[in-house]
Structure 1
């Protein structure tokens, strides 16, 4: 049974609703918490994986549609997760050979990606049941989820207490704030892995005709195993130059660029800055000329992973009943650079006891009138 949580006397208040979303094989119950505002935007978050399961946003005509890839029920997330909407950690992206050192002590992580560690390992945070700590509505609808990652889980040192706070306001701004504390020196890099398609998930239109802007002058190029080489590569003159709004599909098949070949499309970290900021800064803008939807993504993190769903092969059947394939969604993941623990020039992903890790990601949706881009 759904449990509406209303805010009496606040006609335009953002609201929340809690309901069951199935049970895990061991019998534990999974909840879905939906945040909604008066402008027709809705976002649903699962207690399983702190997953952003759904985002519905109006187009320029006021028609609300689903704009993320995902499943209608829990079974899909258990059988073919594909990181749809997932909270990934303890370390998002790749760590070479699943090895790193802290204060001279070597650690080995669980491997799950061609001999490397990816997104926290086979049982990362996206495959854990989180506790719903708080649900509230008012001027902002909010849900706070909590997970305690044990010392040694997937090979990571220190017990890490993590919270994920999703908030929706009346300005069609959805934010997720990840915070963490540790009992031992460790490494942390938590982000959200949602795939967006502003044309609408059910439209069967690819993202290739949508426009992307990323205010980055360089990327961290990778080798054939998708591990950073340690270099910083200027984007000028490459298919990775999105400093001006560019159609996503315009250069995605440029086989002359080895980075496109290695990733089978776009799968690379962009250098937004060289350090973690105290306040969010713009990471990317996506625009769909047909619907008029615009998504601005901001974060306090230094890097942004661009991934165009290159390994979606048609075996995952989404909520609208069609098979997801390459180009059906775009993931834009604010984070610390991949393999930072093994790349001193990239900075640090270290978290010590007494410190607090924070990644604030802001998704702001808006619309524009028809333009020449149609």
Structure 2
């Protein structure tokens, strides 16, 4: 039952102290978290022979995260993914969010939660070891109304689960859609392509996107498409097919429907298996969707940990979240948060081996 935690100074950003925390469970699983961008910096888990390897992409130092353009390991908010047009109507008032070239709001705006300094607090209890990180996003930040206070709690337990809990409150009606943007490679962060990973999604519908790469609005059956992962399938088996959706996104960069309505129920959203190491990853979530991104914009110019390069499709993101463009799709689960309400979500990343 022994858990340990260490805290070390990791530098400064805009006069604020940055720390890195290492969490360890009784099985030797180690997770490192920093309060810059609430990033998961490393995550070491055993393979079938007990060998510990770091299975998330990341950087060796703070400067890597300051310069990062790929949201590697960070928390994305206030609003993960895309909102078409960037104009949103909230309780009868129109708000203009910051937009990218192409005319859409993306991953929280120009300076999203992934570039913020979070207030940290570590803990150890009978359920695990972890860090609570808090950030207060001021009214008007990136165009969003309301002072929004968000906490993310990372907990590592002896079941080799990393639990990610989000909690948020606001003083004005606003929008929220948070996700953890870790890039996984179960063969090791510097092992190259993830196309041999077997992916299983027990999900029957996905969200096709338009040219802006926001959902068209239909919940479309996966049957007969390259988006059918009901049975375990190598990610690379169909990724290069002549399919308009895959061509548009340079691979998988789509949301699947975990639930059609909000609920507190923790559901299995994805299972990943790496055939050489035999490592497995199960993803459980209370969120209505999971966005699968196959690292289609990574390239060899990225220098990661241990001077590794992170080439095209060398990391797999399993982003549990609400559906993209929900503010423009009233039939999607709502991303509206009102004063007096709490936004809460939980995602569990559970690691194991399958001999």
Q: Is the 8 A contact 1:136 1:142 kept in 2?
A: yes
Q: Is 1:22 matched up with 2:8?
A: no
Supply the distance in 1 between the matched residues of 2:109 and 2:175 (Cα, whole angstroms). Answer: 14
Q: Which residue of 2 aligns with 1:8?
A: none
Supply the distance in 1 between the matched residues of 2:308 and 2:129 (Cα, whole angstroms). Answer: 31
Q: Is 1:158 matched up with 2:158?
A: no
CA 81–280 in structure 1, closer or farther in 2 if over 3 Å, else same:
same
Q: Is the 8 A contact 2:191 2:314 kept in 1?
A: no
Q: Is the 8 A contact 1:282 1:297 kept in 2?
A: yes
CA 65–23 in structure 1, closer or farther in 2 if over 3 Å, else same:
same
Q: Is 1:252 matched up with 2:242?
A: no
Q: Is 1:285 matched up with 2:271?
A: yes
Q: Is the 8 A contact 1:69 1:84 kept in 2?
A: yes
Q: Which residue of 2 aligns with 1:330?
A: 316
Supply the distance in 2 between the matched residues of 1:107 and 1:164 (Cα, whole angstroms). Answer: 26
2:92 corresponds, among 98, 101, 104, to 104
TM-score (norm 2): 0.98
Q: Is the 8 A contact 1:85 1:194 kept in 2?
A: yes
1:131 corresponds, among 119, 129, 133, to 119
Q: Can you list the C-alpha shifts for 1:218-238, whole angstroms capped at 9, x where unaligned?
A: 111111220111122211111
Counterparts of 1:204-353 in structure 2, within 5 Å, are 204=192, 206-255=193-242, 257-353=243-339
Q: Is the 8 A contact 1:201 1:320 kept in 2?
A: no
Q: Is the 8 A contact 1:41 1:172 kept in 2?
A: yes
Q: Is 1:167 matched up with 2:140?
A: no
Report the Cα offset of residue 321 of structure 1.
1.8
Q: Is the 8 A contact 1:260 1:266 kept in 2?
A: yes
Q: Which residue of 2 aligns with 1:7?
A: none
Local SS of the residue matching 2:300? strand
Report the Cα offset of residue 138 of structure 1.
4.8
Supply the distance in 2 between the matched residues of 1:203 and 1:51 (Cα, whole angstroms). Answer: 21
- Matched residue count: 355
Local SS of the residue matching 1:75? helix
CA 324–202 in structure 1, closer or farther in 2 if over 3 Å, else same:
closer
Supply the distance in 2 between the matched residues of 1:38 and 1:71 (Cα, whole angstroms). Answer: 26
Report the Cα offset of residue 323 of structure 1.
1.8
Q: Is the 8 A contact 1:15 1:138 kept in 2?
A: no
Residue range with higher mean Cα deviation, 50-59 or 107-116:
107-116
Q: Is the 8 A contact 1:16 1:137 kept in 2?
A: no
2:165 corresponds, among 177, 195, 199, to 177
Runs of 4+ with >6 A deviation: none
Report the Cα offset of residue 350 of structure 1.
0.6
Q: Is the 8 A contact 1:269 1:337 kept in 2?
A: yes
Q: Is the 8 A contact 1:191 1:359 kept in 2?
A: no
Q: Is the 8 A contact 1:14 1:139 kept in 2?
A: no
Supply the distance in 1 between the matched residues of 2:236 and 2:148 (Cα, whole angstroms). Answer: 40
Supply the distance in 1 between the matched residues of 2:126 and 2:120 (Cα, whole angstroms). Answer: 18
Supply the distance in 1 between the matched residues of 2:230 and 2:348 (Cα, whole angstroms). Answer: 20
Structure 2 stretches of 5 or more lacking a match? none
Supply the distance in 1 between the matched residues of 2:134 and 2:121 (Cα, whole angstroms). Answer: 6
Q: Is the 8 A contact 2:4 2:129 kept in 1?
A: yes
Q: Is the 8 A contact 2:57 2:190 kept in 1?
A: no
Local SS of the residue matching 1:216? coil
2:64 corresponds, among 76, 93, 96, to 76
Supply the distance in 1 between the matched residues of 2:209 and 2:341 (Cα, whole angstroms). Answer: 31
Local SS of the residue matching 1:68? coil
Local SS of the residue matching 2:132? strand
